[in-house]
Chain A
Amino acid sequence: MTTISVEKPKAIVRSGTRFISGDIACAEGALAAGCRFFAGYPITPATEIAEHMARRLPEIGGVYIQMEDEIASMAAIIGASYAGVKSMTATSGPGFSLMMENIGLAVMTETPCVVVNVMRGGPSTGQPTMPGQQDVMQVRWGSHGDYEIIALAPSSVQEMFDLTVQAFNLSETYRVPVFILADEIVGHMWERVRIPEHENIKIVNRKKPSVPPSNTFAPFKPDKDLVPPMAVFGEGYHFHATGLTHDERGYPRTESAEAQTKLVQRLCNKIRMNKERIIQVENAMLEGAEIAVIAYGIAARAALSAVRKARERGIRAGLLRLVTIWPFPEEQVAEVARQVKAIVVPEMNCGQIVREVERAAKETPVIFLSKLGEEPHKPSEILAAIEGVQK
């Protein structure tokens, strides 16, 4: 009587060329990746993801539930994941703040799940229908304690689909919450999207334990990649999971410095050690560039346009687009910094990722372009900064 169906993926993936919004592309990406559980709470500008999931999930035997708040939404997707179902929630800044508590729980209990934050203007209620890139540090540091997560920043509707699929694959691979950090423009924009045939979509599922249930089963004993295979409820393992510091059996070890060190370092290292496999960046016209723009999300689109115009004017400019923003592509940024005489960083905030860029760029000067409110950066604004450096 399980309601989660295993309908053939072919019937689920809406392959072909489609004209859809970023939020809908994100929902379709999740379904294509195997997501069958969505818990959320209405919030602008992410509501369309929930609405689309509310329609689509029951059709394919999945579960959509509107919870009483975002705290509950995050808790529910962790529960669903432990019951063996790929799960997701979607929100924006105010809801994201409420999720921080259980994001920590997902990190600590190594729960594969995907959290989408369609960023709007903050702080607080801020500007619900306006874009922002103000939560890029919150996603990294917002829950207490220290930990590592993975965050991806789509720049287009196509990437809302593609990166959501990847987010599920990464979360299943590393047993970690993975974040899609979109913004209001990418979420609400309508563009052409190519959805591949289902057999051409790469799907990763979590590792299952290779041992049968026993009274010595260790649910948090990692393999060489530092990721433990995942038992789920109902399979007979009778395992325990807790947000307390725990040992490989899953049992609380609240007074052991050794247990704390071993666990927290592994939670960080399973991401740090696999950085090369996780990080994605995109280069445009960086060959021979003297000035680099480093951007992500919506700001990267204007940046690409600005770099093209600069090249037309004979300025050797290039773009490094951060697709992964966490773990931060430090080495990729450092490499670009060694090559160029200055770096321009446009962001829709008061200066967040630019600090990471400065840290990685060392001696190379970094020019920051802040933008808040309705409009994203104009290509002309970024071009002016590039020309300023050139002079």
Chain B
Amino acid sequence: MMEELPHPYEKFLRKDRIPHIWCEGCGNGIILNCFARALDELNIDLDKVVVVSGIGCIGRVSGYTNTDSFHTTHGRPIAFATGVKLANPELKVAVISGDGDLFAIGGNHFIHAARRNLDIQVICANNFIYGMTGGQMGPTTPLETWTPTTPYGNIEQSFNLVHLAAACGAVYVARWTTLHTRWMTESIKKALQKEGFSFIEVVSECPELFGRYNKMETGIKMLKWFKDASQVQHFSDPAKAEITPNRIVVGEFVDIEKPGYTKLRQQMTMRAAEKK
């Protein structure tokens, strides 16, 4: 007789939402697992966590997380999270969304939340394409790769997300691939405890679309690419960390202290109340 054992992270998931919609070989489950592990290891009160996501494959993550959660319009999770965090600063507000959602349609919200040093954690699943709509190119698609909308090869330069986040003022910036689960978990833990705006890019595999169009049609083949191309270089210059087919620089890039927006707002509110 086989004994049915509960999944160790069951309490972090909405069981009635499983099975999830993600494809075989997708990296999103790994990110969700690392997020749950980070919450578990920090022993965070789940009543005070809000998971916010936008539109896209990873956007469904908010529906699977057993916390308060909100699945916003495309590109707007950070703007929504701003309202949540300011209205109730006791809440830990984590935005988990994709590269198209956060950096194409939602790019403006990202740069301004980072500039304000809003106390939220943003985790970006970067699979290089728009998965939900069939794999079209996006702002992180590397040069000379193939997608349904770049049938002759991509001619656009891509965003280097860790450089962008650092330039906008994020106090914590890290990049990992879905192979680096322990490091990713440690980074999420750090981000959850950090005052101010923290950003973690997770290079994630989409074998169904990005992989199929670029001769890596299985999850294993994509992970092999991550393994061969990854170079751990902590606190290296984020400006020099572009992702190319031969090189994915991973590690922590920024870990600095700067007053968070919530703290400055509380100080300002106290000044205003005294002046009244």
Interface residues of chain A, those whose CB is within 8 Å of chain B, are 1-4, 36-37, 39, 58-61, 63, 65, 67-69, 71-73, 75-85, 87, 101-102, 104-105, 109, 215, 233-244, 249, 251-252
A63-B80 Cα distance, complex, nearest whole Å: 15
CB distance from B121 to the nearest CB of A (A): 15
Q: Is the CB of B272 within 8 A of A75?
A: no
Q: Is the CB of B68 within 8 A of A238?
A: yes
Q: For residues 57 through 85 of chain B, which have their beta carbon under 8 Å from a beta carbon of chain A?
A: 60, 62-63, 66-73, 76, 79-85
CB neighbours (8 Å) of A78 from chain B are: 80, 83
Q: Is the CB of A83 within 8 A of B63?
A: no
26 A-B pairs within 8 Å (CB atoms) are namely: A1-B89, A3-B86, A3-B262, A3-B269, A59-B272, A59-B275, A63-B265, A72-B108, A73-B79, A75-B72, A76-B83, A77-B83, A78-B80, A79-B81, A80-B83, A80-B84, A82-B83, A84-B88, A85-B88, A102-B76, A105-B73, A234-B68, A240-B71, A242-B70, A243-B73, A251-B17
Q: Is the CB of A242 within 8 A of B63?
A: yes
Task: Beyond the given A75-B79, A75-B80, A109-B70, please list 19 additional residue pairs across the A-B interface where CB-CB is below 8 A.
Answer: A2-B90, A3-B86, A4-B88, A36-B87, A63-B87, A68-B79, A71-B79, A75-B73, A76-B80, A80-B86, A82-B83, A104-B73, A233-B50, A234-B68, A234-B90, A238-B68, A238-B69, A239-B69, A243-B73
A278-B195 Cα distance, complex, nearest whole Å: 45
CB distance from A151 to the nearest CB of B (A): 22
A251-B70 Cα distance, complex, nearest whole Å: 11
CB neighbours (8 Å) of A65 from chain B are: 82, 86
B48 adjacent to chain A (CB < 8 Å): yes
Q: Is the CB of A68 within 8 A of B108?
A: yes
**Set A60, A72, A242: member contacting B71, Cβ < 8 A:** A242
Q: For residues 1 through 41 of chain B, which have their beta carbon under 8 Å from a beta carbon of chain A?
A: 14, 16-17
**Set A3, A36, A234: member contacting B91, Cβ < 8 A:** A234
A36-B87 Cα distance, complex, nearest whole Å: 8
A241-B87 Cα distance, complex, nearest whole Å: 18
A315-B33 Cα distance, complex, nearest whole Å: 77
Q: Which of B60, B82, B83, B266 has the most chain A CB atoms inside 10 A of its CB?
A: B83
B257-276 CB contact bits vs A (8 Å, 1 = yes)? 00000100110110111011
B109 adjacent to chain A (CB < 8 Å): yes
CB neighbours (8 Å) of A67 from chain B are: 79, 82, 112
Q: Which of B60, B67, B76, B89 has the most chain A CB atoms inside 10 A of its CB?
A: B76
A67-B106 Cα distance, complex, nearest whole Å: 13
Q: Is the CB of A234 within 8 A of B48?
A: yes
Q: Is the CB of A240 within 8 A of B69?
A: yes
Q: Determine the residue in chain A with the shortest Cβ distance to B14.
A: A240
CB neighbours (8 Å) of A82 from chain B are: 70, 83-84
A87-B269 Cα distance, complex, nearest whole Å: 18
A84-B85 Cα distance, complex, nearest whole Å: 11
**Set B88, B109, B266: member contacting A233, Cβ < 8 A:** B88
A79-B269 Cα distance, complex, nearest whole Å: 20
B179 adjacent to chain A (CB < 8 Å): no
Q: Is the CB of A2 within 8 A of B80?
A: no
A252-B60 Cα distance, complex, nearest whole Å: 9
CB distance from A84 to the nearest CB of B (A): 7
Q: Is the CB of B82 within 8 A of A79?
A: yes
CB neighbours (8 Å) of B269 from chain A are: 3, 58, 61
B46 adjacent to chain A (CB < 8 Å): yes
By Cβ-Cβ distance, the 10 closest A-B pairs, closest first, are A79-B83, A58-B272, A75-B79, A76-B83, A83-B87, A72-B79, A242-B71, A80-B87, A80-B83, A68-B112
Q: Which of A101, A102, A233, A238 has the most chain B CB atoms inside 10 A of its CB?
A: A233
Q: Is the CB of B47 within 8 A of A236?
A: yes
Question: Known interface pairs A58-B269, A83-B84, A101-B73. Does A72 touch B109 (Cβ–Cβ under 8 Å)?
Answer: yes
Q: Is the CB of A83 within 8 A of B91?
A: yes
CB distance from A331 to the nearest CB of B (A): 35
